[in-house]
């Protein structure tokens, strides 16, 4: 039974390492396809791999315990002896396996590859995001009718022309004709106006007297 336990623990430890490697590859693939631009999210996603590390340590501790029991009593095959151990001895064995060279270098290298790979991937994603923003800004500027790089059907925006108007408007390619300036400013004579006549208003007629006429007395 103890030998079977040792073999089973060995296979389970191998499965833990394979799952850890597959998880690291999946995390880097997700960082690439998810356009992640920071390393910290990649490390947070990789944090569950620590549980596989601790599980591997626990399996290695139980495997070492079985190996010690077989050394003491090779004829003992009952796995119930694993339950008789105290917590202090189990914790000490776990700590010894934690610093064992057969476990921590593998996971340390795995996390280092995830960190440096994630750093390069996020750097590439940042550059791609910056180029995409630059292209979007250029496309937006090109779509504006006031941009000299406009590619719309109505062509480039007309630039303000502060110079003299061309002599022939139908063909602006002809040389422009600019008249010579006047030697002296022209003076135009203003026609004299006739004197203004005052306006006279007609005098209204007197209002009729509506008082009754006095009676005439006969002599």
With beta carbons less than 8 A apart as the criterion, state whether 11 and 18 touch: no
Q: Is residue 136 part of a domain?
A: yes
Question: Over 80: is that where the pLDDT of 17 sits?
Answer: yes
**Separation of alpha carbons 156 and 161, rounded Å:** 15
The percentage of the chain sitting over the pLDDT mark of 90, rounded to a whole number, equals: 15
Domain that holds residue 39: 2-143
Instruction: Give the CA-trace dihedral at 68, 1, 17, 46, to 10 degrees.
Output: -90
The percentage of the chain sitting over the pLDDT mark of 70, rounded to a whole number, equals: 61
Q: Which of 57-71, 128-142, 155-169, 180-194 has the lowest mean pLDDT?
A: 155-169
Q: Is residue 10 part of a domain?
A: yes
Q: Is residue 111 part of a domain?
A: yes
Q: Is residue 205 part of a domain?
A: no
Question: Over 90: is that where the pLDDT of 112 sits?
Answer: yes
Q: Is residue 191 part of a domain?
A: no
Q: Is residue 49 part of a domain?
A: yes
Sign of torsion over alpha carbons 78, 83, 88, 92: positive
Q: How confident is the model at residue 181 (pLDDT cuts 50, 70, 90)?
A: low
Structural domains counted in the chain:
1
Helix (H, G, I), strand (E, B) or coil at 24: helix
For 45-89, how does the pLDDT look when each residue is reduced to its tens digit (9 = 90+)?
A: 899 999 999 999 988 888 887 877 777 776 666 555 555 565 677
**Separation of alpha carbons 28 and 184, rounded Å:** 84
Provide the CA 6 distance to its chain's centre, in angstroms: 52
Q: Is residue 172 part of a domain?
A: no
214 vs 41 pLDDT, higher one: 41
Could you tell me which of 26, 1, 146 has the C-alpha nearest to residue 78?
Answer: 1
pTM: 0.55
Helix (H, G, I), strand (E, B) or coil at 27: helix
Helix (H, G, I), strand (E, B) or coil at 151: coil
Question: Over 80: is that where the pLDDT of 187 sits?
Answer: no
For 117-153, how does the pLDDT look when each residue is reduced to its tens digit (9 = 90+)?
A: 988 988 888 888 888 888 888 877 766 555 554 444 4
Q: Is residue 186 part of a domain?
A: no
């Amino acid at each position: 039974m103890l030998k079977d336990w040792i073999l089973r623990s060995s296979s389970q430890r191998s499965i833990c390492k394979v799952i850890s490697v597959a998880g690291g590859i999946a995390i880097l693939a997700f960082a690439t396809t998810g356009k992640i631009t920071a390393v910290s999210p990649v490390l947070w996603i990789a944090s569950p791999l620590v549980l596989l590390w601790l599980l591997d340590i626990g399996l290695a501790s139980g495997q070492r315990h079985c190996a010690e029991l077989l050394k003491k009593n090779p004829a003992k095959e009952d796995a119930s002896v694993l339950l008789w151990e105290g917590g202090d001895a189990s914790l000490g064995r776990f700590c010894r396996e934690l610093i064992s060279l057969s476990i921590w270098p593998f996971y340390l290298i795995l996390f280092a590859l995830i960190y440096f790979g994630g750093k390069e991937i996020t750097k590439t994603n940042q550059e791609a995001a910056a180029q995409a923003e630059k292209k979007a800004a250029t496309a937006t500027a090109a779509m504006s009718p006031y941009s000299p790089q406009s590619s719309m059907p109505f062509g480039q925006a007309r630039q303000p022309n502060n110079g003299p108007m061309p002599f022939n408007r139908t063909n602006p390619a002809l040389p422009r004709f600019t008249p010579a300036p006047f030697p002296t400013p022209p003076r135009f004579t203003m026609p004299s106006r006739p004197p203004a006549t005052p306006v006279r208003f007609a005098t209204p007629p007197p209002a009729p007297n509506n008082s009754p006429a006095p009676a005439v007395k006969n002599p």
